[in-house]
Structure 1
Amino acid sequence: MSGKIVNNYGNIYIDTEVIAKIASQSAIECYGLVGMGYKSKVDGLVELLKREHISKGVQVQIDEQELNIELFVIIQYGTKISVVADNIINRVKYSVEKFTGLKVNRIDINVQGVRVHNR
């Protein structure tokens, strides 16, 4: 399903993959985030996604103009998880609403792991 915006000139449809890319790009810029995670359905292991595939760590659901986003993240060791998660939520909400014009109803953060990260 895709997001829909209705205006005077017609309808605008925004695919969920576009929303996932916006969300993942804005989340990856947050301090304390090592990367996006992806849980394998076969063996249950969490994989750190490479930059070109980070949108796989985001699930987007659109139900009757309600936009729900779920992010699977790996946090940097030594940072406070709640602070990093709050920063991610605020940044993703702002970016998605700014770029798409859709109202974000809910953002869930699933911490898949903690890693030591050297930049």
Structure 2
Amino acid sequence: MKFQTEYGEVEITVNALRKLTYLAVMETYGPISIGSDNWFSKWFSSEEGKIKVEEDEYGHINIDIFVEVEYGTKVTEVGRNIEENVRHKLQYLANCENVDVNVHIIGVK
């Protein structure tokens, strides 16, 4: 993702967006761990690597987050809070305006 500032052009990589997303999820109340939708990723990648970040040719960013939430929390509220926190962090820190955040609750612990 590239954007222009008064000082020049700034490029933010997909890995940087993934790290910002991970930090935003961990700051939110409710999620215990970040999981994945397939068994291979569960065993062989870090939690941060289990967040899917894709950018299309128009600069639109799609983020899929797979989380396990804490028992006793409202699942819909946790999902909504994660979505809002990720969207806010990416807009504030990375100047991302076109972001779709999809939160998938894969378990309760």
Picking from 81, 101, 107, the partner of 2:101 is 107
| Two-structure CA RMSD over aligned residues (Å) | 2.0
Identify, as 1 or 2, the structure richer in strand. Answer: 1
List aligned pairs for 1:65-80, cutoff 5 A: 65-80=59-74
Picking from 21, 28, 36, the partner of 1:23 is 21
> Residue in 2 aligned with 1:36?
34
Matched residue pairs, number? 107
> Residue in 2 aligned with 1:13?
11
User: How many Å separate the matches in 2 of 1:66 and 1:39?
Assistant: 23
Cα displacement (A) at 1:113: 1.1
Cα displacement (A) at 1:57: 2.3
Structure 2 gaps, min length 5: none
Cα displacement (A) at 1:5: 0.8
Contact kept in structure 2, 1:96 and 1:104, CA below 8 Å = no
User: How many Å separate the matches in 2 of 1:112 and 1:68?
Assistant: 19
Q: What are the superposed Cα offsets for residues 30-77 of structure 1, whole Å, 9 maximum, x if unpaired?
A: 1111111134444xx956x8xxx3311211111212111111111111
Seen in structure 2, the aligned counterparts of structure 1 residues 18 and 67 have a Cα distance that, compared at 3 Å, is: same
Normalised TM-score (structure 1): 0.79
Q: Does 1:59 align with 2:57?
A: no
User: How many Å separate the matches in 1 of 2:28 and 2:67?
Assistant: 11
Moved over 6 A (4+): none
Q: What are the superposed Cα offsets for residues 73-97 of structure 1, whole Å, 9 maximum, x if unpaired?
A: 1111111110000000111110111
Seen in structure 2, the aligned counterparts of structure 1 residues 104 and 46 have a Cα distance that, compared at 3 Å, is: same
> Which amino acid in the other structure matches residue 85 of structure 2?
R
Normalised TM-score (structure 2): 0.85
